[in-house]
C-alpha cells in the first residue's frame, strides 16, 4: 500500500525442498549431534556450503530450515522483477541470525 512503511520480520513459507548443503567441516557452527547423526544447530558463525543443488530454484537447508537458499537464476529474476521487501544475502555475508555482516 502506498504511504505505509514496510514491515520487517516477514518470512517466506511452504518451501518444500530440504537439501543437505552445509559443509560442517569448514563452517563454524554451534551444534549438538542427536541420534548419532542429526545435528541440532543453535547458531552459525560462518557458513560454508558444499556443492548444492543449484538446479532447484529455492530450498531450505536440511539441518537449519530457517535459512532459505535460491539459485542464481531465481536471484536474477527477483532482482529484475523489482519486488519490494526482499533482501538477498550471499551465504558468506549472512550474520548467522537474520542480517548481513
DSSP category for residue 7: P
* Any domain includes 6: no
Confidence (pLDDT) at 12: 67
What separation in angstroms does the CA of 44 have from each of 24, 55, 69? 10, 25, 15
What separation in angstroms does the CA of 84 have from each of 14, 46, 48? 20, 28, 28
For the chain, the C-alpha Rg in angstroms (whole number) is 15
* Any domain includes 22: yes
Confidence (pLDDT) at 37: 73
Confidence (pLDDT) at 7: 62
* Any domain includes 34: yes
DSSP category for residue 93: G
Confidence (pLDDT) at 4: 65
* Any domain includes 29: yes
Number of domains within the chain: 1
**Which residue numbers in the chain have pLDDT < 70?**
1-13, 36, 53, 96-99
* Any domain includes 5: no
* Any domain includes 25: yes
* Any domain includes 28: yes
Q: Which domain holds residue 62?
A: 18-93
Rounded Cα–Cα distance for residues 24 and 31 (Å)? 10
* Any domain includes 82: yes
Amino acid at each position: 500500500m502506498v504511504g505505509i512503511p514496510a514491515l520487517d520480520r516477514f518470512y517466506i513459507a511452504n518451501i518444500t525442498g530440504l537439501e543437505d548443503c552445509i559443509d560442517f567441516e569448514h563452517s563454524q557452527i554451534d551444534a549438538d549431534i542427536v541420534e548419532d547423526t542429526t545435528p541440532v544447530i543453535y547458531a552459525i558463525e560462518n557458513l560454508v556450503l558444499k556443492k548444492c543443488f543449484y538446479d532447484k530454484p529455492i530450498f531450505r537447508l536440511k539441518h537449519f530450515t530457517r535459512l532459505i537458499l535460491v539459485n542464481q537464476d531465481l536471484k536474477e529474476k527477483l532482482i529484475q522483477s523489482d519486488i519490494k521487501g526482499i533482501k538477498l544475502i550471499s551465504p558468506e555475508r549472512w550474520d548467522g541470525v537474520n542480517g548481513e555482516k
